[in-house]
Amino acid sequence: MNNPQPGFPDPAQPIFALGWLGEEALPPILTVLADSHHLDRAAAAWIIGTMRDLGTNRVRAVPLLLRCLTEKDEAIARHAAAALGELGMEPALVVPTLANSLGDPIVVVRRLSAHSLGLFAGQAQMAIPALVQSLNDTNASVREEATNALRQIAPEVLKKKGTR
């Protein structure tokens, strides 16, 4: 089956059935995410970011997603960046790692890291310097997401810079 959206996991993969099961599906999805040789790791990260009703068990995904964020595989790293923002947990661990990812060589990882930082809003204060630096990123979409994140975290910074 051709994947209709390049760069996104193919929803025909069997792992996607787990995503519909809810909280009890989290352990096998985390097992896939933890296996550095598993071909469905990007899909697992994406599924975790889209799953609802995970309750407090979702915190178990954070350490694995943090490791995935530094992967060289673009799909794994970007889906991890997005999932970390969607989970919105453990800001003391996640925010510094997302801020570091603003310097990632992969544009989409930088963009999604900025977006995810914005989802942390007031809990992402320590990322302000990195986001301000990202306002000068070579990629327009990264600059836009950094601006949007700063609107959520510290809009006064944008006023000082003359950006709305």
Residues of the chain with CATH 1.25.10.10: 12-89, 90-164
pLDDT tens per residue, range 54-92: 777 788 899 999 999 999 999 999 999 999 999 999 999
Report DSSP letters for 10-38, one per residue: -TTSTHHHHHTTGGGGHHHHHHHHH-TT-
Task: Give 12-89's CATH code, choosing from 1.10.150.670, 1.10.3720.10, 1.25.10.10, 3.40.50.300.
Answer: 1.25.10.10
Lookup: tokens for 60: 């178990």
117-143 pLDDT per residue, tens: 999 999 999 999 999 999 999 999 999
pTM of this structure:
0.86
Distances (CA, A) of 42 to 32, 139, 141: 9, 24, 22
User: According to the model, what pLDDT value does residue 159 have?
Assistant: 85
pLDDT by residue (tens digit) across 7-49? 555 555 666 656 666 677 888 999 999 999 999 899 999 989 8
Output the six-digit token pair for 112.
């999604």
Instruction: Return the percent helix, strand and coil in the chain, to nearest 5.
Output: 70, 0, 30
Structural domain 90-164, CATH architecture: Alpha Horseshoe (1.25)
